[in-house]
Amino acid sequence: MKLISEQRLSQILGALPANARVIASGNFATPHTLLRLADQAMASFRLHMLNAQPGIPDRDGISYESAFVGAGMRRHPRLNYVPSRLSLVPVLFRDHFKPDVVLLNASSVRGGKVSLGTEVNVLPAAIEAARANGGLVIAQANAAMPYTFGDAEISLEDIDYLVEVDEALAQKPEHPSTDAALSIGDRITAMVADGSTLQLGIGAIPDAVVRNLAAKRGLRVWTEMFSDGVLALEQAGALDRDRQITASFMFGSQELYDWANLNENVRMLRTETTNNPANIASQNQMTSINTALQIDLYDQANASHVRGDIYSGFGGSTDFIVGALHSPGGKSFMALSSWHAKAKVSTIVPRITEYVTSFQHSHVVTEQGVADCFGHSENEQAKNLIEQAAHPDARAELWAAAKQMNLVG
């Protein structure tokens, strides 16, 4: 590892081949300093990020790649969407999308290492792919990044160049919960048993679930990501203190980041470990809670496309749905509001016309009720979805469609 100035790094980046592939820390750990230097020094490059947020470089000469599209790349004319379950993105880096350079937002140096802090995810695989194929690994040693353990720790020997920065981390804004989200949260919480292992996504519904779990005991966390709700459960005594919190990335408040810093009870692991369905299935009473845009009468979910355009991607939901169903006592919840307020349409539809993201969920939960799905015939699934999950204004149309589809008599 060589500690260098921004000026020297600009020279190094400028010497990279035209249209080089740049893989950068994604989600809410964007390495803004490194991306600014790349933007200034490189005439053209392919920027590969997961769930990229606004504020990334955007001009002619820069194209985007992503297996999970965030707001910073969504609906962009130069976006190349790469369909992949999150657990398989490391395979993409190894065999198909080999990086020329990896840009990391890491912690300050500690004991010959830096930590990836809040964002481990697919980055260890990207580093390995770069090392195996002659690419560069460049990190900004960020004083604001918490030092976390597990696969987050990266030896300085695996980093070519380091630039010291002090760059604030993104923090999760507070959003008031809707009545529908609170109702869904109440319904799911009632079905979570003591001693369950939680996978919680991000958004109003997972937030509504986790805020009601404080009275539970012995809960464990094996998840792709977590936010302040897990900290609240830890403070409430709801978590099994003999089990480490296992995740791949986090996003939340400064309080969350301060708590995670040097916290040996927080274990940040690479995606192919956290999202391996076999590892998920081995967790006690694995409880997977995800959201979707639409569910059809065959219990198929679309969580990735809107009107034919990519909105997000598969993410890790498919990994956790499969793992949870194989876990003894496990449950897979798919949660959504029954009615899309802006479009004024039902989110329970006869048949998905977009792209199927997942299927076979234990329960589909809306503010209307809980529809039991897995373990029932397709006729019973359709009946339960219409009667228990669909909005009352949509039920007559859904019954008529179900009859045409021979799902009900």
Cβ within 8 Å of residue 78, ≥6 positions away: 62, 63, 64
Average predicted confidence (pLDDT) for the chain:
95
Element (H, E) at 340: strand 339-340
CB 292 within 8 A of CB 336: yes
Strand partners, 62: 45
Burial 131-156 (b: 16+ CB within 10 A, else e): beeebbbbbbbbeebbbbbbbbbbeb
Domains of the chain listed by start with CATH number: 2-165 (3.40.1080.10), 179-404 (3.40.1080.20)
Measured distance CA(300)–CA(358) in Å, rounded? 6
User: DSSP secondary-structure letter at 243?
Assistant: S
What is the rounded distance in angstroms from the CA atom of residue 219 to the CA atom of residue 34? 39
pLDDT of residue 176: 77
The list of the chain residues with pLDDT below 50 reads: none
Can you give the pLDDT at residue 174?
78
pLDDT for res 146: 98
Return phi, psi of residue 224, to 5°.
-75, -45
Which residues carry out catalysis?
224
Q: In the structure encoding, which two tokens stand for residue 404, read together? A: 């045409």
Strands 348-349 and 294-296: parallel
Q: Residue 409: what pLDDT? A: 81
pTM: 0.94
pLDDT at position 89 is: 96
pLDDT of 194 reads 97
User: How many residues are given for the chain?
Assistant: 409
- What is the structure's pLDDT at 211? 84
Question: How far is Cα of residue 107 from the mean position of the Cα atoms in its chain?
Answer: 21
pLDDT for res 205: 87
Read off φ and ψ for residue 381, nearest 5 degrees.
-60, -50
